[in-house]
Amino acid sequence: MKKILLLLSLNVLIFATNVSDFISKHQCDQVIDKQIYTVCYSYKYKGALGGWTTLDGNKVNAVNLKKRPHFYENKIIPKKYRTKYSDYTGMGKTWNRGHFIIADADADYSPRALLLVYDMCQIQPQASKVNQKTWLKVERYGRMVASKLGYVHSVTIANYRGATKKLKNNIVIPIGFYRIYFNDEANFKKCFYYKNNPFVDWKRDRLKKHLVDCSKIHSK
């Protein structure tokens, strides 16, 4: 906990931070407003280039509903570019349906919010150990920051540079994921990068090892 709190304190901001610092909306084939989060969706990759949300410190740890909804297709995306639940069937040992922009644990304060999170438009193929072990740490960190500061803005970006692997239905597997947290009122900004590596040594993984220079992050 001391190490996590240290990550909160060692930071100095000069200029205001915006989502546009990291994601250019002209790169999105569709911008999908899910009310509690927004998706920048790519037809080429059949997945999110990135997205953003705000974690409310009064909500993220408020209820913790146990019952989870089923994943569902996003009907406003043209059918030939959509991803489906069945696209991942049989891939669970290596690739999971990873909540990308907002975690189910970020939205389990109400059934309605939780349902919004299970839209396949924000699901990415994440290596099973990343999804179940390492990425969880940066998600927990975001909730802790939101609780401490009152809220935190969260931006997530998929790194497709050099990506060649695909799931069925031609879903391109990102080679990594960026997560940016910021709250200008609290003079706070931290950025992280996780390789989408099926062979990650999750037992030795530490949050601080994923810290990166925020000024060098931008969507493709």
The CATH number that applies at residue 112 is 3.40.570.10
Burial per residue of 60-95, b for 16 or more beta-carbon CB atoms within 10 angstroms, e otherwise: beeeebeeeeebeebeebeeebbbeeebbeeeeeeb
pLDDT in tens, 149-189: 999 999 999 999 999 999 989 999 999 999 999 999 999 99
Average confidence (pLDDT) over 126-155 = 97
Quick one: pLDDT at residue 220?
Answer: 59
Query: pLDDT class for 54, splitting at 50, 70, 90?
Result: very high
Domain span including residue 104: 2-216
Whether pLDDT at 209 is above 90:
yes
Burial per residue of 7-38, b for 16 or more beta-carbon CB atoms within 10 angstroms, e otherwise: bbeeeeeeeebebebbbeeeebebebebebbb
Whether pLDDT at 17 is above 80:
yes
Quick one: pLDDT at residue 15?
Answer: 57
Give percent of the chain above pLDDT 70: 92
Structurally, the chain folds into a number of domains equal to 1
Query: pLDDT class for 63, splitting at 50, 70, 90?
Result: confident
